[in-house]
Structure 1
């Protein structure tokens, strides 16, 4: 009798151990199969724009090579309310804090003085040669360090939405230029 109780107890412990490891796998399978408990929310506020070419292929009068390699680019069309838009994106750039040096603002069109951290190349600045069909007045593009458009925003976008997306992208993509510092390598 004692021996049968011990064997039954050992079997129960084995089944409990199997259940501990099998239940999360079964629960995950059920969630995926029947779409139960999977969040449907969006994390990016901007729109993906796969039809927008890389920055080097944009039809600009004066496209600059003075962009720092490894910088993210916040390009904005300044053909409408340029002073307000330039100030708006300058304030967002300042709000990035210690991550601000990783971002360059590129103003396309408009006139006026450049604000700190803004790139307005050449004497006349970056101007559209011919307006592409993917461009709209006041539009904003967020480009990765390779010049590929990551997200695009309409004129009515809130600064907070762009800030959330940009902060998230900067956090998820650490600056490769500072990696040797983090690892203690001083070469």
Structure 2
């Protein structure tokens, strides 16, 4: 084979290889710069709340021991219709089906003496500035607020977000529930 032809062939292969790796980067740059091909749909219905501290730092009278697990937590601040809110979030909890055991509920405030099944009661020791009556927070297993919702949010939207969070964050392999699910 002619050495000049072999050199040209090697250069073409190198150019093709560079093109294969550079073309996706060029396409991504075009998509970001001119907003072409980027979906406009919204997947989360809640809001991010970076100002909310970890659950362990919340000014509650006492943090119940039942919440110091590796569960996700639905924490809601009872506003005006506390019993109706508690019932709504209890129904949402049940709607999760087999994933319901990965969620705990924390009701803060209100006049309830008996919690609903799967619910923990707490009271504010002092009112933090980031608090707002009727607010709902979804807390991750480390106690960080993943998403928050204002009063009057549709429970179906919260259910959609919680299911997505649980799907994206599967049970750790060593957990008891993960072992039962394998059988």
TM-score normalised by the shorter chain: which range applies? 0.7 to 0.9
Are 2:54 and 1:76 equivalent residues in the alignment? Answer: no
> Retained in 2: the 8 A contact 1:77–1:138?
yes
Question: Structure 2: how far apart are the matches of 1:152 and 1:183?
Answer: 30
Runs of 5+ unmatched residues, structure 2: 1-8
Question: Structure 2: how far apart are the matches of 1:183 and 1:154?
Answer: 35
1:3 is matched with which residue? none
Q: Cα offset for 1:27?
A: 3.1
Q: Cα offset for 1:183?
A: 11
Q: Cα offset for 1:146?
A: 0.4
3-state DSSP class of the match of 1:163?
helix
Size of the aligned set, in residue pairs, is: 168
Are 2:154 and 1:158 equivalent residues in the alignment? Answer: yes
- The correspondence for 1:171, drawn from 155, 164, 167, is 167
> Retained in 2: the 8 A contact 1:70–1:175?
no
3-state DSSP class of the match of 1:161?
helix
Runs of 5+ unmatched residues, structure 1: 1-10, 121-125
Greater Cα shift, 38-47 or 23-32:
23-32
- Normalised by the length of structure 2, the TM-score is 0.80
User: CA deviation digits over 1:30-65, x for unaligned, max 9?
Assistant: 223322111233221111111111101111112212
Relative distance call for 1:51 and 1:98 in structure 2 (3 A) is: same
1:51 is matched with which residue? 51
- The correspondence for 1:181, drawn from 169, 176, 179, is 179
Relative distance call for 1:182 and 1:100 in structure 2 (3 A) is: closer
2:123 is matched with which residue? 127
> Retained in 1: the 8 A contact 2:44–2:161?
yes
2:6 is matched with which residue? none
